[in-house]
Amino acid sequence: MSLHKLVLLLLLLEVMLAAIASRSATAQTKPGCPERCGNLSIPYPFGTREGCYLNDNFLITCSNVSNKPFLRRGNLPVLKISLDGELVVSNWVGYACYNESGGLVNKSDPWIRSSNRFRISYTRNKFTVVGCDTYGLITGSAGYAASCTALCDTRDDLVNGSCSGIGCCQTPIPKSVTDYNLSMISFSNHTRVWNFNPCDLAFVVEEKSYNFSSVDLLGLTTNAKFPLVFDWAIGNEKCGNVSNSVCGEHSTCYNSNNDLGYLCNCSAGYQGNPYLGCQDINECLNATLNQCSNICHNTDGNYTCSCPNGYHGDGRKDEQGCTLALWIKVSAGTGIAILVIGCSLLYWRIKRRKLSKRKKKFYKQNGGEKLEIELSRQNGSIEAVKIYTIKELKKATNDFDASMILGRGGFGTVYKGVLPQNKLVAIKKSIAVDQSKIDQFVNEVITLSQINHRNVVRLLGCCLQTEVPLLVYEFISNGTLFHHLHEVDHESSIPWKIRLRIAKETAGALSYLHSSASTTIIHRDVKSTNILLDDNFTAKVSDFGASRMDPLDKTQLTTIIQGTLGYLDPEYYHTSQLSKKSDVYSFGVLLAELLTAREALYLDRPEEERCLAAYFISSMKENKLFEILDPQIVNEGNHEQLRKVANLVQSCLRLKGEERPTMREVAIELEGQVQVEKHHSVGLEVSSDETEHHLSESMDLGSTSTTAVYDSLKNQDIIPLGDGR
C-alpha cells in the first residue's frame, strides 16, 4: 500500500472516530429511541416509548395524528423539557363571558392535575387575573388558596405592562403545589364595563411570557393558551438518602428546591446527559475553556498546561505562565502577587464604599433624615422609636434564615429576632413600599411608636438601611387567635370566659386606636390572624400594614384598598372608603368567630354557611342561635349572656355604618359582660339592672339582616403561619 493511500485511510478513520465521539457527547436519548416529537427535543429520563423513559412519570405521548407531544397520557401539550429540572406545558385560559344585560354566555373553570413527581414552579409562574370587574380564586394541593382582584372603571384607567390590580393582577404560587382549580366571580356581571370588557379571564402563566396590554380585555380569546412551568425531579428522596441513584457516570446529585427528590448534573469538565453518563470536554480545542498560554494536554475531566523546551513555568495564563529565565519568573510572580493583592484590596474597598453608599441612599430614600428630625422634636416626652442598623437585624435573625420565619402574608414576611440580652422581637420585612408615601410612612412610625396600650403590639423601632424599611415589634409568644380557634391541635379549646376577655381586650384596644390618641388610627384589617395571644391568653392587636392614620382635624381620604375576605365592610362598595365603623364590622365577624369557632370564610361548607357574617345573621333571624354556637361554650352555661353577646355581634354587622355602635360602646358592653362572668364564676347573683350598660341605652341590639358581596380587595390573601409576632 502506498504512503499516499495510508495517509488518506488514517484521515478517514480520524473523521469517523470524531463523528462517533461527537454523537456520544451530544446524545440526549437512549440508543435507538426517538430524539424528537414534532419540534420538541426529548432528553432521557423522558421518552416516548417503553424502554426509552425512566418510569411512567416521564412518559411523553407523541400523537400519531398531529405529531404533538403530551405529558404522560394526559392532554397537556409539552413545549420544552430541560435537564435542569423544568418542563414547560401549554395551559388553557379560564374565562367567564357575559352579554350586555349581564347574562352568562359561556364559562370555563380550568384545572390541572399532575403527578406527584411534578410541582408547579413557584419561582417561574404567577396566578394572573385579567378584567375590570373580576375576582379570581385559585385553590390547590396542601390547602393552598389565594385570590386576586382586578378592577377598573374606564379603559383610560389601564396601564400597559402593569399588573397591579387595575385591569390585571398577579399573585405568586407557593412551594409544593401539584394541582389547582381556577374560579372567577364578577361583582356586577360586567354590566358597567361590558363595552370594553365582557369577560373574566384567569390563568397560571410563566411570568416572563405574559405582559398585560389593554387590548387583552377584548382581544384575548377564550381559547388562548399560555406557557406554564413545572419543576420535576427523580423520586422523592434527597441525595443523602438515595441508595441507588440514577445519575450516570461522571455526574453528581443535587436536591430539588421544590420539595421533590433529586436531580443530576454533569461533573466539572464533563458534558452531555447526566442520566446517561457525561463525556469529557476537550478543553484544548477551545481557547476560552482553558488557561494554557502555550501547550494544552487534555485529560479525563480536566487538562494540563506545559511550556515549550527552553522555557520554565506551569504554562498557565492565570499563574506563572512560561518564562525564559529565573529572574523573569521571579519578577513575574512577584508582580502578579502584588497585582492580585492590590486588586483584592481595591475590590473590597470599592465594595465597602458601595455598600456604605447603598445604605445611606436607602436611609435617605426611606425617610431616615426626616425621622431623625421628628424624633429630635419629641424632646424625650415619649420613649423614642429606635432606629436599628441592618447589621443588628441580620445578626438577630441569623441573616434572615428561613428557620426564623414566623409567618408570611400579602404584605411580606415576619421573622423572629433575638437582640442582645436575649430580647425577643418580631421583624417585619415588607415586599414593597410606595416611595411617594415615605413621608406618610415616617409619620406612621412615629405615631405607632407612641401607642402604649397593653393590648396593642408595640412598635419598638425600624431599620431604614434596606431597599424596603424593616419594622421591629415586640414578640408575642403564643401564636394567633386563629391558630387557637381553628387549627386541629387547638380547635375550640379556649373556655368562654377567656374568649370573652379576649373580645373585651381587643375591643378596648380598637377603641383606644379610634379615640384615645391625637391621631385617629383605623386598623382596616381586623381578623383573628391579627390578634396575637401571650402565654396568659392576653390579646394583642397586631399588623398595622393595612392601617391608616386620620388626623382629628382633617377629613379622611383613603385611596389604598385593603382588607380580608370575609371581614370587609359591605358599605365600602357604596362609599369607596373604610372608616372606624368598618373596624366595628370586622370586629363583629371576629366576635362571631369567638362564639361559633367557625372561620370567617370556609369554602368547603354548604353555600349558605360559607360566609360566617351572613350565616350568623340568618341564624339569629330564624331563632337558631344555639345551633351555630360552639358546643363548648353552650355547655358552660349562662345562655342569657351568650344571647347578649350575639345581639352585640348583630349590631356590629349592620349594613349601614351609622347604625353600628362605636368601638367605645362595644368595649363598654363587653366590659360589663366580663364583670357579669366574674360574678357568675364566684357564685354571686347579679341583677339585670347591674348588667345593663351604656350600649343597651344608646342602640337597639335586636335582630337585623345583612347581605353583601364579600371580597378580599388585597391583591393576594395567603394565610400566614400560626406563630406569634
Place of cell 394572573: 128
Q: Phi and psi dihedrals of 338, rounded to 5?
A: -60, -40
Place of cell 341605652: 697
**What secondary structure, in 3-state letters, does 670-683 show?**
HHHHHHHHHHHHCC
Q: Which of 451, 474, 497 is the last residue of a domain?
A: 474
Cell of 547: 392601617
CB atoms within 10 A of CB 589: 26
Closest C-alpha to 130, from 179, 186, 180, 178: 186
Per-residue pLDDT, 521: 87
| CA gap 447, 465 in Å, rounded | 21
Q: How many Cα atoms are found within 13 Å in the side-chain-facing hemisphere of 211?
A: 3
Q: Phi and psi dihedrals of 665, rounded to 5?
A: -65, -40
**469 and 487 share a domain?**
no
In CATH, what number is assigned to the domain containing residue 544? 1.10.510.10
Q: Which of 216, 232, 248 is the last residue of a domain?
A: 232
Give the list of residues 6+ apart from residue 355 with CB closer than 8 angstroms, or none: none
Is residue 113 in some structural domain?
yes
Domain count, the chain: 4
Burial of 667 (0-12, 13-18, 19+ CB in 10 A): buried
**499 and 550 share a domain?**
yes
Cell of 282: 476537550
Per-residue pLDDT, 199: 93
**576 and 691 share a domain?**
yes
User: Amino acid identity of 125?
Assistant: N
β-bridge mates for residue 304, sequence order: 297
In which element (H, E) is residue 448 found? helix 438-449
Is residue 349 in some structural domain?
no
- How far apart, in Å, do the first and last CA atoms of the chain sit? 89
- pLDDT tens-digit profile of 71-81? 987 788 999 99
| CA gap 77, 74 in Å, rounded | 9
Is residue 257 in some structural domain?
no
Is residue 416 in some structural domain?
yes
Per-residue pLDDT, 290: 94
Q: Residue ranges of the chain with pLDDT lower than 50?
A: 7, 15, 17-25, 381-382, 545-546, 548-561, 684-725
Per-residue pLDDT, 699: 38
Closest C-alpha to 573, from 588, 589, 585: 585
**528 and 440 share a domain?**
no
Active site residue 109: no
Long-range contacts of 44-51 (CB under 8 A, 24+ apart): 44/273, 44/275, 44/276, 45/234, 45/246, 45/275, 46/81
Between helices 580-596 and 496-515, what is the axis angle to 10°? 170
SS3 561: coil
Per-residue pLDDT, 50: 92
Q: Is 421 left (phi over 0), alpha (psi -120 to 50) or beta?
A: left
Q: Is 375 left (phi over 0), alpha (psi -120 to 50) or beta?
A: alpha
Q: Which of 232, 249, 272 is the last residue of a domain?
A: 232
| CA gap 242, 246 in Å, rounded | 9
**71 and 134 share a domain?**
no
**123 and 167 share a domain?**
yes
Is residue 189 in some structural domain?
yes
β-bridge mates for residue 601, sequence order: 611
Per-residue pLDDT, 81: 95
**442 and 529 share a domain?**
no
Is residue 451 in some structural domain?
yes
Per-residue pLDDT, 6: 55
In CATH, what number is assigned to the domain containing residue 461? 3.30.200.20
Per-residue pLDDT, 450: 78
Is residue 323 in some structural domain?
no
**550 and 631 share a domain?**
yes
β-bridge mates for residue 91, sequence order: 226
Is residue 654 in some structural domain?
yes
Closest C-alpha to 367, from 298, 432, 443, 315: 443
**222 and 181 share a domain?**
yes
Cell of 397: 435573625
Cα separations (Å) of 86 from 52, 117, 237, 699? 19, 12, 18, 62
Q: Is 351 annotated as a binding residue?
A: no
**426 and 486 share a domain?**
no
Range of the domain at 31: 27-80
| CA gap 432, 460 in Å, rounded | 21
Per-residue pLDDT, 350: 85
Burial of 472 (0-12, 13-18, 19+ CB in 10 A): buried
Cell of 364: 435617605
Per-residue pLDDT, 371: 76
Per-residue pLDDT, 518: 62
DSSP-assigned letters across all residues of 75-133: S-BEEEEETTTEEEEEEEPEEEEE-TTS-EEEEE--EEE--TTEEE-TTTEEEEEE-SE
**57 and 130 share a domain?**
no
Torsion of CA 348, 349, 350, 354, to 10 degrees: 100
In which element (H, E) is residue 216 found? helix 216-219
Q: Is the peptide bond before 45 cis (omega within 30 degrees of 0)?
A: yes
Catalytic residue among 525, 569, 717, 723: 525
**107 and 127 share a domain?**
yes
Q: Phi and psi dihedrals of 170, rounded to 5?
A: -140, 150
